[in-house]
Amino acid sequence: MLDVFSDFAKGLVIGVSIAAPVGPIGILCMRTTLAQGMKAGFVTGLGAATADAIYAALGAFGVGAVTLILASAGTYLRILGIAVLIWIAWNTWRQKAVASDGQILAPALSLWAAFASTCGLTLTNPMTILSFAAIFVGAGLSVSNAASANIALQGTLLVAGTFVGSMAWWLFLSGSVAAFRAKVGPNALNAINKISAVVLLGFAAWMVTQIFAA
């Protein structure tokens, strides 16, 4: 029982450490929370947590063929990710919030679109699989023995913990930002949209340099 908790706890730590660093998903989560509320912001982060769980499972159970294919297609997936980032940045720049009866009215993204956009964006980084594989091996999961029932259980618990840890971070972030939402007026939100768009373009530019550096 103690081992079960230990494996799940390792996954929790991994999930938080993967999700917490500030990146394009964090920017999108915060901006969506300010524009549409905590629920939309959390769902935005949930898309990234789902993609992390998918790649964590591939990394944990050593799905060699899939890992190899995605790694070899890394450049093309990065280009797709850059295109998605630019599209999101463009739409973010164009969004304009207005005040009506004390309420901020802003173009709303459906919950499904918010989830799918961040899930897809996170999946365009196939090197995440290799990162998870390295982390899980370091955590004591031997991929070569994946047929063992104990190892299979350990991998499942690590992946589940990773998902819950990542999800907990997005819940914390969206909840924290939502606490300040009432104090943000339409002018401030419009400024945040512009800043967010520029930051997202910055991440896209950084991804371009990574392609040429590879």
Contacts of 25 (CB under 8 A, 6+ apart): 19, 44, 45, 48, 118, 121, 122
Domain housing 39: 2-213
Number of domains in the chain: 1
pTM, rounded to two decimals: 0.74
Handedness of CA 169, 112, 56, 82 (dihedral sign): negative
Q: Can you give the pLDDT of all 214 residues of the chain as single tens digits?
A: 556 677 788 888 888 888 887 788 888 898 889 888 899 999 999 999 999 888 888 777 765 555 555 556 567 767 777 787 788 788 777 776 554 444 444 556 688 988 998 898 888 876 666 666 666 666 555 444 444 556 667 778 888 988 999 999 999 999 999 988 877 777 777 787 788 788 878 878 877 887 776 6
